[in-house]
A = this chain, B = another copy of it.
Amino acid sequence: MTETIELKRVGDGNLRAQVYQQVRLTIQHGELAPGQKLVDVDIAARLGISRMPVRDALMQLVHEGYLVGTTRGFTLPTLTATDVADIFEVRRLLEPRAAAHAARTLDAAGLKTLAAALREAEAAAADGDADRFFQANSAFRNCWLGAVANERLSQTIARFVDHVLVVRLRTLSHQPTQAVIVAGMRAIYEAFVKRDAVAAYDRMTHFIQNAEERFMKLSPPFQNSDGEGKSMSRRGKS
């Protein structure tokens, strides 16, 4: 409960949105211990605002699956192997189609951004810089996902990606995995360049399958799916 979380106010709009952004970025950057408690009054004091906007933001994050809210504070969810498998199943269903969309709608500027992200990922992989690699990876996906015409589709995907993202830093630190991912990104990028929707679909399918295999293989702590500790018990749902 020391100064591990560093939140600063950003001029965006209402306080809730600001807090939401800050906390989500904190989570996405992995700057949060797996069992760390997020207490609204605590964050509120640190930001110099009242509990309510913080509480609203945290509840929104809970609802989106970024956090779990117990009666005793908000913490990161600890996904079981089943959870991860479920998320990947949904991603397998959605992302290939979305990639096919993007292959048709990406413009020159988008392709340029993708190329830059790809180069960055390659450089980071060469250096073994997991954090940079992670950032490049996110930039790559955010770019093509932003070109998808169907916003509900892209938003749903983004959410599920973020859910596994919490524990993804581990996978992305693994050198051979980085190589595989870069290869997959390049394949997808080339399909985008050729505006080949079918190729984009197929390569995205392959990419996700690879990612899931790698993830499962590299995560021995997830093997103990004792079935009892389904940690995603949400609060506030029906």
Q: Which residues of A are in contact with B by a Cβ distance under 8 Å? A: 12, 14, 16-17, 20-21, 56, 59-60, 63-64, 86-87, 89-90, 93-94, 97, 150-153, 156, 160, 232, 236-238
Contacts and interface: CB of A to CB of B under 8 A. Distances in A.
Nearest to A57: B236
Nearest to A159: B156
A16 B236 contact: yes
B238 A151 contact: no
Task: Determine how many copies of this chain the complex contains.
Answer: 2
Contacts of A237: 17
Interface of A is mostly: helix
A201 to B, nearest CB: 12
Contacts of A56: 56, 59
Contact of A17 (B17, B156, B238): B238
The 8 closest A-B pairs by CB, nearest first: A86-B150, A86-B152, A93-B93, A90-B153, A93-B97, A89-B150, A93-B94, A90-B152
Given A59-B56, A63-B60, A63-B63, A90 B238 contact: no
Contact of A20 (B87, B152, B236): B236
30 contacts: A12-B238, A14-B236, A16-B236, A17-B236, A20-B236, A20-B238, A21-B238, A56-B56, A56-B59, A59-B60, A63-B63, A63-B64, A86-B150, A86-B151, A86-B152, A87-B152, A89-B97, A89-B150, A90-B94, A90-B152, A90-B153, A90-B156, A93-B93, A93-B94, A93-B97, A93-B153, A94-B94, A151-B232, A152-B160, A156-B156
